[in-house]
Structure 1
Amino acid sequence: MSIIVTGGDGYLGWPTALRIADRTDERVVLVDNFARREWVEEVGATSATPISWPEERLAAAAEVHGLRNLSFVEADLTDRAAVDQLLQVHEPSAVVHTAAQPSAPYSNLNGERANYTQHNNMQATRNLAFGLAENDMADTHLIETTTTGVYGAPEFPIPEGGATMENQGERDDVPFPAMAGSWYHQTKCHDAANLRLAHKQFDIPISDVRTAIVYGTETEETRPDDRLKTRFDFDYYFGVVAHRFAAQAVAGYPLTVYGKGEQRKPFISLEDAVEGLARLAVGDPDDRPSDHVVYNQVTRPIAIVEMAETIQEVGEELGLDVDVTHVENPRDEDETHQMEIENERYMDLVGGQSQTFAEGVRDILETLTRYEETITSHEDRFLPDVLKEDAEE
């Protein structure tokens, strides 16, 4: 038996695999085709942290942590035959599916990228679901990271998965309506629907982990050795807003808040995201869900302006001169939207938040200052247009 982690070369997949390997005697099989490295290079960006290749990573995991139950398979999950072979050889008790093209801006670049994103993401998930069902592994726990982006930005509190609909005096629980804002997010709406159908048709135990915006550079397992570092993207296409703000701070540019910046977005630290996935994969077998369960993998919503001011405060503690400036908002959005999202089920799973946003920011800035030259040499990849114009003057 084994536990498979797809996207095992990625930002979330690699540290998740390390934690799972530390908590089980089962073989932990990382699966990836290195596409994320290609996508980032394609848009002229790079990881701020040097990322080792699997052979060096696994050697470091054995040397530093004594983890000898990790292995790596290069495979493309859109290839059904490859998925069947993977499942038949390794007979997983759980599959943690973190593999996807995760960038909304990349998916919105043009029709080619939109089509690629939709095919890549949904085909991989369908192949895993049908692979488990048709290889007599319907009792394998399928854990997928979808996204809180499937909810959109409603004015009412977002439930943890479902909603109650009333029509002509009758009430029923229904899936929350999909309100994607990009071709990438739409793939996760389809994945969520397909996961429900896979459970209904095949009786596969499924955890749909709707992941918020993940920030941070380190987990307990990656911290001791640079060979164990996970990737850190800070560009417009693959870097989340907190990471781009941190890059601006390190490069000596002001943090540009669009408009009021009071709108709240759902966030979770890398540490807390890894913990939730690990607990789902290697928790007490008696506690493993036999149903289809939705988790809102978020610790709390954070306002954009609060995020910038926290980076400013922590940066100044570390000796950086950080300014926050408000600029005209080029986007059509509610700058005061106060997102509320229920997360009781997820917080019960992880036992509460283990890392605050300020603690995660400190990790980020301490890491990025080590790689300042990489940041500044790629500043055209993360600076907003207003700062690019100022830099050119």
Structure 2
Amino acid sequence: MSIIVTGADGYVGWPTALRIADRTDQRVICVDNGGRREWVASVGGVSTTTIASIEERVAAAAEHGYRNLSFVEGDLADRAFVDQLLAVHEPTAVVHTAAQPSAPYSQIDGERANFTQHNNMQATRNLLWGLHEAGLSDTHFIETTTTGVYGAPEFPIPEGGATMENDGERDEVPFPAMAGSWYHLSKSHDAANLRLAHKQFDIPVSDVRTAIVYGAGTEETRADDRLATRLDFDYYFGVVAHRFAAQAVAGYPLTVYGKGEQRKPFVSLEDTVEGLARLALVDPDDRPDSHTVYNQTTRAIAIVEIAETIADVGAEYDLDITVEHVENPREEDETHQMEIAHERYDDLIDGSAVDFEAGMRDVLGAMVERRDVVEAHEDRFLPDALES
């Protein structure tokens, strides 16, 4: 018996694989092709933390008692590789975190837009069809899609479907794809394919729509420098909270476009990992439904609140941080108050969430410790408003 974690060399995938391995006697198969490292390097980015090779990571994990962890290198967009992977390991669950995960990267040019959609959607289709054709339709398929599939509607976002009414008749339908980037749209297509695969193949599916993830690590990754997960801060792969933290550590003001009152959904890395691990290990009889959507978020946070929280926490590291409002170059509602349901996800993690302030304390601490790395790459995260 085994559990497969795809994208297991990534920011979310690696700590998820460690947590699952810590809680089960099943073998945990880590699958990756090194794509995230290549994509970040291609845009001049670098992780704040030093990232050991996957071979070093697995060896270090074994030293810390994770002797049920294995690594398989391969490209999930290659159907033959996926078929062999599933035939050999016959997993009870697949935690699918592998993807080109950056919206800005997918927007650079047509080549990267095409690559993002082909890579992400092909990998998911290969896994779903592979499970079906291998007779593994009882395998629990868990994918991290994204809350970005919802866009930014003016009404409260449900956890999954929406109710529509026409000519007096009502029904629940999948939420429409309102994604704002080629990356987010790849995940909208994935969500539709997950629903179809469940309907046609009866594969149990958990569609985990993951919010913006923040944090520098988990209990498992802090045990040894070789177990550290990555912490990106560049424009393409570093989320807004991490980019603000990098600006603060490098001695720049935190620039908020316009009012900055628009809210975005966030979730800590710790809570993300906990939710995925629980889904991977849940007893089949305890699954809420055979196809379930989770909004993996704990709260929506305004951009200006992110900046102000970092400024407050930064004082603990002797950082003198100011927040500046600059003219917004984007066409967006600077006061959009996103509301997003996440009761199902709260129940999954028993309502215990890492608060944003604690998460940013963790991020700032990691960046202060490696200030030289951050300052050496400031051209990768400074907004146009600070460049001169």
With the length of structure 1 as denominator, give the TM-score of the two structures: 0.98
Deviation per CA, 1:179-214: give whole Å up to 9, x if none.
010000010000000000000000000000000000
- Match for residue 38 of structure 1? 38
CA positional deviation for 1:318: 1.9
Structure 2 residue identity aligned to 1:271: E
- Paired residue for 2:275? 276
Q: Summarize the alignment of residues 56-205 of structure 1 with structure 2, pairs less than 5 Å apart.
A: 56-64=56-64, 66-205=65-204
2:383 is the alignment partner of 1:363: no
Cα deviation 1:260-300 (Å, max 9, x = unaligned): 00000000000000000000001233213551100000000
Q: 1:285 to 1:200 in 2, by over 3 A?
A: closer
1:207-257 deviation line (CA, Å, top 9, x unaligned): 000000000011011112111100111000000000000000110000000
Map of 2:312 onto structure 1: 313
Which residue of structure 1 lines up, in the alignment, with residue 14 of structure 2?
14
Deviation per CA, 1:82-104: give whole Å up to 9, x if none: 00000001110000000000111
1:206–1:289 contact (8 Å) kept in structure 2? no
- Which aligned pairs between 1:314-353 and structure 2 lie closer than 5 A? 314-353=313-352
CA separation in 2, counterparts of 1:229 and 1:376? Answer: 21
C-alpha separation in 1, matches of 2:245 and 2:282: 35
Q: Distance in 1 between matches of 2:216 and 2:364?
A: 9
The AA in structure 2 aligned to 1:74 is: E
For 2:55, the equivalent position in structure 1 comes to: 55
Residue identity opposite 2:27 in structure 1: R
Residues 299 and 353 in structure 1, CA contact (< 8 A), matched pair in contact too:
no
> Which stretch shows the higher mean deviation, 279-288 or 236-245?
279-288
Counterpart secondary structure, 2:387: helix
Q: Is the 8 A contact 1:314 1:361 kept in 2?
A: yes
Secondary structure of the structure 2 residue equivalent to 1:277: helix
Look up the equivalent residue of 1:386 and give its one-letter code: A
Letter matched to residue 249 of structure 2: V
- CA deviation map 1:41-68 (0-9, x unaligned): 111111111101122111211223x110
Does the aligned pair in 2 maintain the 1:78–1:127 contact within 8 Å?
yes
Deviation, 1:353, is 3.2
- Identify the residue that residue 234 of structure 1 maps to in structure 2: 233
| Aligned counterpart, 2:23 | 23
Q: Distance in 2 between matches of 1:53 and 1:62?
A: 14
Q: C-alpha separation between the residues in 1 aligned to 2:317 and 2:41? A: 31
- Partners in 1 of 2:305 and 2:288 — Cα distance? 36
Aligned with 1:207: secondary structure? strand
Instruction: Note the alpha carbon deviations across 1:115-159, whole angstroms, 9 max, x for none.
Output: 000100000000000000000000000000000000000111000
Secondary structure of the residue aligned to 2:222 is coil
**2:299 is the alignment partner of 1:300:** yes
2:207 paired residue number = 208
> Which residue pairs with 1:243 in the alignment?
242
- Report the secondary structure of 2:142's partner residue: strand
Identity of aligned residues (%): 76
For residues 250 and 134 of structure 2, the distance between their equivalents in structure 1, rounded to whole angstroms, comes to 52
- In the alignment, which residue of structure 1 is the partner of 2:261? 262
Aligned counterparts of 1:218 and 1:183: Cα–Cα separation in 2: 28
Aligned to 1:374: 373
Give 3-state SS (helix, strand or coil) of 1:253's partner.
coil
Deviation at 1:388, TM superposition (A): 1.2
- Contact 2:51–2:226 under 8 Å retained in 1: yes
Shift of 1:378: 0.5
The question of whether the paired residues in 1 share the 8 Å contact of 2:52 and 2:226 is answered with: yes
**Count of residues in correspondence between the two structures:** 388
Secondary structure of the corresponding residue to residue 144 of structure 1:
strand
Query: Residue 298 of structure 2 contacts residue 353 of structure 2 at CA under 8 Å; is this kept in 1?
Result: no
Moved more, 25-34 or 224-233: 224-233
RMSD: 0.8
Mapped partners of 2:15, 2:284: distance in 1? 22
Q: Residues of 1 paired with 2:355 and 2:238: CA distance?
A: 20
Amino acid at match of 2:368: T
Aligned residue for 1:9, secondary structure, equals: coil
Q: Secondary structure at the match of 1:17?
A: helix
* Cα distance in 1 between the residues matched to 2:18 and 2:33: 18
Question: What TM-score comes out, normalization by structure 2 length?
Answer: 0.99
Q: Supply the AA of the counterpart residue of 2:345.
A: Y
SS of equivalent residue, structure 2 residue 92: strand
Letter of the 2:334 partner, please give it.
E
Cα contact 1:204–1:290 (8 A) shared by 2: no
CA deviations on 1:318-366 (whole Å, 9 max, x unpaired) are 2111111100000000000000000000000001133100000010011
